[in-house]
Amino acid sequence: MSKVGMVILNYNDYETTKKYIDKIQKFKVLNNIVIVDNKSSDGSFEKLSKLQNNKIKVIETEKNKGYAYGNNVGINYLNEHSVVDYIIISNPDIIVEEKDIEKLKKDLDTNDDIALVAPVVKQLNEEIKGWRLPTIKDEILQNINYYQRIAKKNLNYKEEKYNNTLTKVDVVSGCFFMIRKDIMNMIGNFDEATFLYYEENILAVKLKNIEKKTYIDNSTKIVHDLSVSVDKSFNSINKYKMLKESQKYFAKYYLKTNIFGMIILRLTYYVSLGISYIVCFFRKIRSKKQ
């Protein structure tokens, strides 16, 4: 009988994480739940520690080194202290039903060629069903102000691709997915060189390099409350800078972009950042007048 472990990363968001745990700890399909507090500054670790029991373990990182590092701490704990076959990586701001986790588990139990499987993610007014790996051209286009959304949508597959229960895709949302533990270990877990963003694309390249497949199960669905933790902790400019630093790393080391491509990528980034500063400046002036 296969077993499932879950890793949940918390940062300064005790209430959201506790609400999530209060529901999922009753799920029989979950054998182990590891809550990783990413060195919160609001006392989250002490509060979350009170939730510990035979099923739930709360651990704390030495310092906040980002999403990839924090999740790796949880994965390593499962490797050392539990016997699980599959690992779920989950944000705390998720609404999921046990039947959907059971279906994802069944997908892995019955399909040896699937390394990673994810549900359809409902986020705001859209459904995220995975996307294709971007090229350096796609990344450059995403640096152009007011064109980012179009460039990002161009990475989506056509809707008719999702006619079957299971659909093979390049990349899935990192907010919630299930992966075989041995495969995650084989690729060295998450790449800790990024602090935030691009983890999904990097993971997809790693799986592609060892010829492992990723699928969306169209019969399952979760709700993602749009990165509550990130929105609370960073302002928009800082988030944008983090995003683009991760983009640079992804382009250089995973897309193997040449020097010319990297120059164009960074040039478009600096232009877009400058425009963002100007927009923020005028927004502040307008808000003061009001």
Going through 206-286 in order, the beta strands assigned E by DSSP cover: 213-224
Per-position b or e across 120-140, b if 16+ CB within 10 A of its CB = bbeeeeeebbbbebbebebbb
- Considering only CA atoms, which of 103, 87, 71 is closest in space to residue 32? 87
pLDDT at 232 over 70: no
* pLDDT confidence tier of residue 155, bands split at 50, 70 and 90: very high
Question: C-alpha dihedral over 20, 21, 27, 31, to 10 degrees?
Answer: 130
Q: b/e string for 143-154 if b means 16 or more Cβ within 10 A?
A: beeeeeeebeee
Average pLDDT, the chain: 94
Instruction: Tell me what percent of the residues of the chain surpass a pLDDT of 90.
Output: 86
Q: Using DSSP bridges, classify how beta strands 86-90 and 4-10 pair: parallel, antiparallel or unpaired.
A: parallel
Distance (Å, whole) CA 97 – CA 102: 9
- pLDDT at residue 171, as a whole number: 98
Q: How far is CA 134 from the centre of its chain?
A: 16
11-50 burial, b for 16+ CB within 10 Å, e for fewer? bbbbebbbebbeebeebebbbbbbbbbbbbeeebbebbee
pLDDT at position 290 is: 61
The predicted-structure confidence for 6-38, as pLDDT tens digits, reads as follows 999 999 999 999 999 999 999 999 999 999 999
Q: pLDDT class for 286, splitting at 50, 70, 90? A: confident
Exposed, middle or buried: residue 115 (CB in 10 Å: 0-12, 13-18, 19+)? buried
pTM for the whole structure: 0.93
**Is 218 strand, coil or helix?**
strand
> Which residues on adjacent β-strands are paired with residue 89?
7, 177
Whole-number Å distance between alpha carbons of 259 and 115 = 33
Structural domains present in the chain: 4-134+157-225 (3.90.550.60)
Dihedrals phi, psi of 170, to nearest 5 degrees? -80, -50
Residue 233 is predicted with a pLDDT of: 54
Find the helix or strand (DSSP H, E) in which 23 lies.
helix 14-24
Rounded Cα–Cα distance for residues 191 and 199 (Å): 7
Contact status, residue 111 vs residue 210, Cβ threshold 8 Å:
no
Residue 183's pLDDT band (boundaries 50, 70, 90)? very high
- Alpha-carbon Rg for the chain, nearest whole angstrom, is 19
Tens of pLDDT, residue by residue over 28-86, are 999 999 999 999 999 999 999 999 999 999 999 999 999 999 999 999 999 999 999 99
